[in-house]
A and B are shown apart, each in its own frame.
Chain A
Amino acid sequence: MWRWLNGPGKVFRKALPGSTNYMNAYDKQGNLLRTRNAGREAGSRRNKPEEETLEEDEETAARRDLENPDLTDEEPRDEESDARGGIPKERRSDMRPYPLNDQFSSQAVLSEELREELYTQVAVYKHDISSVAASFSVDIRRVAAVVRLKTIEKQWVAEGKRLAKPYSEAVLAMLPTTPFRPNTANPVTPHEPINDIEVHAHTRPQIFWPASESRQFTREDAAKVFDSKLLPADKRIPLPMLVDLERWKLEGLDRQERTKKQIEADDKARREEDEKVRKRTEWQARTQRVVQGRRWDFKFQDISAEKVGKDGRGKDAVGYRYGMPHEDRKRGMLKIPTSVE
């Protein structure tokens, strides 16, 4: 072990400046693969353009391109390579920390500037989270999380609490990051695919469904075949607005009309949401009687005794717990909370 650690493994002792330092980027002797390949490539660039650089099969490469658009095989720019100490940029295969597992690679995290920009867009300019997510190609949930975390950070700064700055700098230098370059030709680098849909359990079985040849059998019909309540993909994606926008563009609507339509759609959605809230409060006022307590409000509501079902143990019924003692007070039974508000 010590021979390895002082020999080929020595490269992992310290981080490579300005680059990631994963195991798959090195060969067995501890040489950086990409410097070797870069040297060879420079010699044979004219006759054989980029064949040995791509070690994985092409389709995964195409896929990874979508995932990590900044990991391209283009020639690194001079100042960037200087910051890295003359080492060429990482290739896709260099991003794998586990040599045996070729299905996992380290993916880029948001850079400090990009986080700041997302926070400004949402918290300062008050832009819609989903539109920010679409324009920066960052998952909606991630945008929300970034704003939440940034808010805490600002709070700490205002309070004068010490941030873990050296830690942050060191860790972000070790990780691949998605940059944000304002005042350049393309400031935004897409971070991740934003329109993911979960593979629904109902769509797993393969179904043989005869349909007549003349029938226009669309995605909607296919969804119905899998499950009567399943929605088609264009409605299940997190940002269905993008599909509508694209459709309007294909229809030949100009920019103003599209914006108008979008505003209309937004208004409609907002109205629907308001209506829902209103209905809910109305229902509560109708069915619930609230008695103000000293510490709590007591809410009374009529219930149906029929809900217990045939065996008297219906899950949503009142009195569900009777006859089914909990074990959580037994010795050795640990009661871990399942959620924290």
Chain B
Amino acid sequence: MPRRFHGLKKPRVRQDWSKETLYNLSRLTLPPAANKTFFQQKWLAKSMTRAYHNPYVREGQWTRMFDRRLPSVVSMDHRYLARHDGSEMAGGRGAGAEVQGREDEEGEVGARVTPPKTPYMHMTFWPLERRLDTAIWRALFASSVKQARQFVVHGAVKVNGKRMVYPGYALNPGDMFSVDPERVMFATGARKRKRGSAVSEQDLREERERSRAAKAAEERGMEEGREGEESDVGMANLESDEEREALATKPEEEQDARKAMKNLMTRAKRILEDAKRQLSGKRQQELRAFAQSVRKTMSKYRPETEAAAAAGSESGSADTTIESLETALAEIMTKIPSDTLSTLPTSEQQAAITASASASNAQASPESEKEDAYTARKDAELLHAALERARANPLDVTRPYATPWKPREWMSAFAFIPRYLEVNQNVCSAVYLRHPVARPGLAEVPTPFAGETVGLAFNWYLRRR
């Protein structure tokens, strides 16, 4: 383990999602080969590649794992196989007859399309991809191989349902590994600023930058700039007073049902605002409409929910308010038919509506008119979706990551999943389908280095220096 892991003087690309690695990746070049001996070139290539490909595996261990036979596949076309039996390859002058009438890219008739070369050299480090810690990182369950290794050692990883504590376990094709979802969320989510708060540093920075930009725009006094930024300032202000209060208290702990609902609304707003920052104009419009409809629904059905809350619980405690709200929503959704707007009203439907209306609280069911029923259902659905989203991604100070959960910074530049893994992100499990292979034009071992560099490293490990 080197002393300066992310040194900038000797830039090393490491297996992690850090900004240092990203920067080093951006200035990574082919090492100059001029006035270097072949040995020196190989040494440099080897040290570069090994700094990336799991430096925690000791060199002796790796040289024992190294194999000069590199796996590759060729994909066959079943239609071609059915049409020809292989003897056509002996046609013409012995190397296959020319195909008549077919033009290739240069417009040359009958020229053979040469398939791309198989990049064997890029597969040099494939045995390391079999290791459990590397596979966890490749499946995007940890932010670095080192962290993945820690997860394994700390017993958060299971292979085929059994706890596996060896990060060097070589996965076999068909092995399923699963990581504790809490750990995955911690590893990939934004980091908390402080122990007691759910806010992350990256959110704070964003807020700061936004307000700074707004201030700059104001100072400049630009007409079109101000309009856009003012709303942002407003948003920031809203966060600063109303939301802070809402975020500080959990709705489950709220005594008053109305307060709880208001709290919930604020949180729903926050969720939507989070989405807004990333989404385009059309989606934003939709979301705004959603927020409005939620407000409408709340005002419409508040009496009912409050009544339900009062009936259900003795002192309107904890989660009963929320649950009653949800049950009320479910009731609304079941009572009101789904496609009343499109179809013509039949007498049966009308009867059903009136029956349901009479069955439920009389004051709660506002109108039995078609349009209103439809919009109410839509509203209820939307609110339900918001609740679902809020429940899936709650604000919780006890979690070790910033909540509501957000991916950490710089992650997107490293986010890819190689084809030899099949990942289910919902349960934080993945299956190691097969060993990585090279195919024409593509090597499945992700490596940041050029073919020449990896080739030199391969040559180093051939042990004929």
Q: Contacts A58-B105, A141-B434, A218-B87 given: A63-B419 contact, CB under 8 Å?
A: no
CA distance A24 to B437 in the complex (A): 23
By a CB distance below 8 angstroms, the chain B residues around A97 are: 413-414, 416, 446
What number of A-B contacts does a CB cutoff of 8 Å give? 292
CB neighbours (8 Å) of A285 from chain B are none
Contact of A104 among B411, B430, B446 (CB under 8 A): B446
CB within 8 Å of A: which of B417-437?
Answer: 417-419, 422-431, 433-434, 437
Nearest-CB residue, chain A, relative to B413 = A12
Interface string of A207-229 (1 = CB under 8 A from B): 00001000011111110000000
Q: List residues of chain B with CB within 8 A of the CB of A105.
A: 442
Judged by a CB distance under 8 angstroms, whether A162 is at the interface is yes
Contact of A171 among B85, B114, B415 (CB under 8 A): B415
Stretch at the interface among A194-202, A268-276, A286-294: A194-202
Tell me how far the C-beta of A332 lies from the nearest C-beta in chain B, rounded to whole angstroms: 12
Q: Measured between C-beta atoms, what is the minimum distance from A16 to chain B in Å?
A: 7
Asked whether B174 lies within 8 Å of A340 as measured between CB atoms, the reply is: no
B interface, how many residues as a size bin? 35 or more
Q: Which residues of B contact A148 (CB under 8 A)?
A: 176, 431
Are A9 and B424 within 8 A (Cβ)?
A: no
Contact present for B278 and A98 (CB under 8 Å): no
Question: Please, how many angstroms separate the alpha-carbon atoms of A336 and B166 in the complex?
Answer: 7
Do B280 and A243 touch across chains, with their CB atoms under 8 A apart? no
> Beta-carbon contacts of B376-393 to A below 8 Å, as 1s and 0s?
000000000000000011
Given the complex, which residues of A lie within 8 Å of B86, measured CB to CB? 217-222, 232
Q: Does chain B have a CB within 8 A of A146?
A: yes
A242 in contact (CB, < 8 A): yes
A204 to chain B, nearest CB (A): 9
Q: Is the CB of B443 within 8 A of A104?
A: yes
User: By the criterion CB–CB under 8 Å, are B426 and A145 in contact?
Assistant: no
A115 vs B23: C-alpha distance when bound (angstroms): 36
Tell me if B71 counts as interface (CB < 8 A to partner A): yes
User: Which of B183-191, B307-315, B344-352 contacts its partner?
Assistant: B183-191
Chain B neighbourhood of A237, CB < 8 A: 76, 78, 81
A110 and B431 alpha carbons, distance in the complex (Å): 14
> With A100-B450, A149-B431, A175-B416 in contact, is A197–B424 under 8 Å at CB?
no
A337, B166: Cβ atoms under 8 Å? Answer: yes
Q: Which residues of B sit under 8 angstroms from A142, Cβ to Cβ?
A: 422, 433
Encoded as 1 (CB less than 8 Å from any B CB) or 0, chain A from 72 to 111 comes to 0000000000111110000000000111111111110110
The answer to whether B422 touches A149 (Cβ under 8 A) is yes
A101 in complex: contacting residue of B164, B437, B447, CB < 8 Å: B447
- The CA-CA distance from A96 to B247 in the complex, in Å, is 40
Q: Which of B26, B122, B188 contacts A103 (CB 8 A)?
A: B122
Distance (whole angstroms) from the CB of B28 to the closest CB of chain A: 6
Asked whether B22 is an interface residue with its Cβ less than 8 Å from the other chain, the reply is yes
Decide: A60 near B441, CB < 8 A? Known: A5-B23, A175-B417, A196-B74.
yes
Which residues of chain A are near B178, meaning CB under 8 Å? 152
Q: Is the CB of A167 within 8 A of B184?
A: yes
Q: How far is the CA of A150 from the CA of B429 in the complex (A)?
A: 10
103-125 of chain A: CB within 8 A of chain B: 103-107, 109-110, 115
Interchain CA distance A64-B77 in the complex, whole Å = 15
Residues of B within 8 A of A153 (CB): 424, 426-427
Could you tell me if B90 and A9 are in contact, using CB atoms closer than 8 angstroms?
no
For A162, give its contact among B79, B181, B425 (CB under 8 Å).
B181
Q: Does A193 contact B (CB under 8 A)?
A: yes
Partner of B82, one of A102, A196, A247: A247
Is A341 part of the contact surface with B, judged by Cβ < 8 Å?
Answer: yes
* Chain A residues with CB under 8 A of B119: 103
Distance in Å: Cβ of A150 to nearest Cβ of chain B:
7
Q: Which residue of B lies closest to A171 (CB)?
A: B425
Give the interface residue-count category, chain A. 35 or more
Q: How far is the CB of A74 from chain B (nearest CB, A)?
A: 19
Q: Which residues of B contact A41 (CB under 8 A)?
A: none
**B153 interfacial by beta-carbon distance below 8 Å:** no
Give A125 to B113 CA distance when docked, in angstroms: 42
- Tell yes or no: B56 within 8 A of A by CB: no
Q: How far is the CA of A218 from the CA of B129 in the complex (A)?
A: 38
Q: How many angstroms from the CA of A129 to the CA of B437 in the assembled complex?
A: 23
Contact for B184 among A58, A63, A164, A239, CB less than 8 A: A164
Question: Do the beta carbons of B73 and A196 come within 8 Å of each other?
Answer: yes
CB of B251 within 8 A of chain A?
no
Cβ of A83: which chain B residues have Cβ within 8 Å of it? 280, 282-283
The complex places the Cα of A103 from the Cα of B121 at a distance, in Å, of 10
- In the complex, the chain A residue whose C-beta lies closest to that of B165 is A336
Residues on A with beta carbons closer than 8 Å to the beta carbon of B431: 145, 148-149
Residues of chain B within 8 A (CB-CB) of A239 are 78
- Residues from chain B with a CB closer than 8 A to the CB of A145 are 176, 422, 431, 433
* A165-B426 in contact (CB<8A): yes
Kindly state the separation between the CA atoms of A242 and B419 in the bound complex, as whole angstroms.
23
B109 within 8 A of A: no
Contacts of A168 in B (CB 8 A): 425-426
Type the 1/0 row for A139-183, where 1 means its CB is closer than 8 Å to any CB of B.
101100110111011001000001111111011101100000000
Q: Is the CB of B446 within 8 A of A156?
A: no
A233: interface (CB < 8 Å): yes
Q: Given the complex, which residues of B lie within 8 Å of A106, measured CB to CB?
A: 415-417
Determine the distance from Cα of A146 to Cα of B431 in the docked complex, in whole angstroms: 9
Residues of A within 8 A of B113 (CB): 59, 62
- A178–B415 Cα distance when bound, in Å, is 16
Answer whether A156 and B427 are a contact pair too, CB < 8 Å, given A198-B437, A201-B69, A340-B160.
Answer: yes
B442 touches A218 (CB 8 A): no
B147 contacts the other chain (Cβ, under 8 Å)? no
User: Would you call B337 an interface residue if the criterion is a C-beta within 8 Å of the partner chain's C-beta atoms?
Assistant: no
- The answer, yes or no, to whether B306 is at the interface (CB within 8 Å) is no
Name the residue among B75, B116, B140, B424 with the largest chain A CB count within 10 angstroms.
Answer: B424
Partner of B411 from the list A15, A85, A247 (CB cut-off 8 Å) is A15
A residues in contact with B445, CB < 8 Å: 104
Assembly CA distance A156 to B427 (angstroms): 8
With A17-B280, A63-B116, A97-B413 in contact, do A167 and B188 touch (Cβ < 8 Å)?
Answer: yes
**Can you name 9 A-B pairs with beta carbons within 8 Å?**
A5-B22, A13-B410, A15-B407, A64-B441, A103-B122, A166-B406, A195-B78, A198-B71, A337-B169
> Which B residues contact A (CB, under 8 angstroms)?
8, 19-20, 22-23, 25-26, 28-30, 69, 71-79, 81-83, 85-87, 90, 105, 113-116, 118-119, 122, 140, 159-160, 162, 164, 166, 168-170, 172-176, 178, 181, 184-185, 188-189, 278-283, 392-393, 404-407, 409-419, 422-431, 433-434, 437, 439-451, 453
Ordered nearest first, which 9 A-B pairs have the shortest CB separation?
Answer: A219-B86, A246-B82, A106-B416, A168-B425, A15-B412, A149-B424, A145-B431, A193-B75, A21-B412
